[in-house]
């Protein structure tokens, strides 16, 4: 278990560093398979025929074809989300 935990921490730290985030912490929510768009204060994405959104706390941070936001889901949870820039859809309705 200790090796798995160490690997998890190392991989998570590497993801944060890729985006230029030196002191990243917490969960990373992978949304790289979904269409998405954002405004100055919120991110929204289509998943299983539903449209979801979170408030943006910080971001975007960009690495290659990916973008990361630190978000608040409105229910007291704050975490990071990563999206694929090639799936950005500016016509996605909020």
What does the alpha-carbon distance between residue 69 and residue 73 come to, in Å, rounded to a whole number? 12
Which of 38, 40, 41, 62 lies closest to 51 in space, CA to CA?
A: 38
Residues 28-33 have a mean pLDDT of 97
> For the stretch 43-60, what's the b/e string if a residue is b when 16 or more beta carbons lie within 10 angstroms of its beta carbon?
bbbbeeeeeebbebeebb
The pair of three-digit structure tokens given for residue 48, joined into one six-digit string? 């299983």
pLDDT tens track for 33-53 = 999 999 999 999 999 989 999
> Given pLDDT bands bounded at 50, 70 and 90, which one contains residue 94?
low
26 vs 57, which has greater pLDDT? 57
* C-beta of residue 26 within 8 angstroms of C-beta of residue 80: yes
């Amino acid at each position: 278990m200790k090796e798995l935990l160490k690997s998890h921490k190392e991989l998570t730290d590497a993801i944060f560093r890729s985006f230029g985030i030196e002191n990243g912490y917490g969960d990373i929510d992978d949304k790289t398979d979904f269409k998405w768009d954002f405004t100055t204060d919120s991110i929204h994405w289509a998943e299983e025929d539903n449209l979801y959104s979170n408030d943006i706390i910080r971001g975007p941070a960009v690495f290659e074809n990916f973008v990361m936001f630190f978000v608040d889901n409105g229910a007291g949870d704050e975490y990071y989300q990563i999206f694929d820039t090639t799936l950005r859809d500016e016509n996605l309705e909020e």
